[in-house]
Amino acid sequence: MRKFIFAAVLSIAAPAAHAADLPILRGSLSEGRTMGRSDWDGFYIGAQAGIGQSDMNFSGATRTLAGGLLDGLAMESAGQVSQWPLLGKASQRGEGWGGFIGYNSQWDDVVIGVEMSYLHGKFGGDASGSMGRSFIDALGYTNGVTYDAAAKMSITDMGTLRARAGYAVGAFLPYMFGGLALGQADIVRSARIHGVAVNVAAAPGFQNIPFDYSKTEGQYSHLIYGYSAGLGVDINLIGGLFARAEWEYVRFTSSVDTNINTVRAGVGYKF
């Protein structure tokens, strides 16, 4: 059986090889290779580096801390101290490096794939604020309250698992992508509520009650999650070697809402 299959293959291959030697066919094959699209089908791996900006919203970062400190107290019911708008937004530039690995399937000019991307760097920000108010609670005390708050967040690692869709144009593969994002972050928050509660009706005179509540909470190597989306282009250089330029938007939802925009350049190899 094996001899029969081998003989059949030879009987087909021999005429084809002879036909390929004809001048007119040799010209056609050469022109096809010159004008044809790049082959993006298969596995690939690469390295990348980028710069970007993180935009962080700290406005609600310490509310749960302050709410826990004042839980059940008359001053919280009357003044809603934990909801005071102390912190705002912060932006900071950062940079990072990493790699990517993925797989493409190609149908004519359409390329669909899945990719994992990783970036190590430092993207973060911080904010602090203070506010003082005076109000009377349900027990008749006049509360002179000062609320100090601070928050800081630093993202050292982030990765995305994303689907890609592109359209091959010669050596170029412009594409768009979207998917899930995971990050590792250090988050430190602190809240301090202090002041004096005065009861003017106390006998035989004023009753002054100082108070000072504070708490600092740190979450280190904390897992955060969100989503990513972006655009890019791969450029076939020679053989399986290609260059890449890309923009990615990542949004993380945590105690500090975070948006990160990065512009990246990379080089990869398709097997």
d(CA 101, CA 44): 6
pLDDT at 254: 84
pLDDT at 208: 86
pLDDT at 203: 58
The count of structural domains within the chain is: 2
Do residues 202 and 239 share a domain? yes
Do residues 46 and 77 share a domain? yes
Do residues 144 and 192 share a domain? yes
Do residues 71 and 155 share a domain? yes
pLDDT at 33: 35
pLDDT at 37: 73
- pLDDT tens-digit map of 214-223: 999 999 999 9
d(CA 95, CA 138): 52
d(CA 77, CA 71): 9
Q: CB–CB of 121/156 below 8 Å?
A: yes
Do residues 152 and 231 share a domain? yes
Distances from the Cα of 197 to the Cαs of 80, 130, 211, 258, in angstroms?
15, 19, 8, 38
Residues of the chain with pLDDT under 50: 1-35
Structural domain that includes position 9 = 1-36
Do residues 57 and 28 share a domain? no
Q: Please give the structure tokens belonging to residue 195.
A: 């002041």
pLDDT at 34: 39
Do residues 16 and 120 share a domain? no
Do residues 152 and 266 share a domain? yes
Do residues 128 and 20 share a domain? no
The candidate with the shortest Cα–Cα distance to 103, out of 48, 161, 36, is: 161
Do residues 157 and 252 share a domain? yes
Do residues 24 and 87 share a domain? no
pLDDT at 1: 39
Query: Beta-carbon neighbour count of residue 236 at 10 Å?
Result: 19
Instruction: Tell me the pTM.
Output: 0.79
Do residues 50 and 178 share a domain? yes
Q: What is the CATH number of the domain that holds 76?
A: 2.40.160.20
- pLDDT tens-digit map of 114-129: 999 999 999 999 999 9
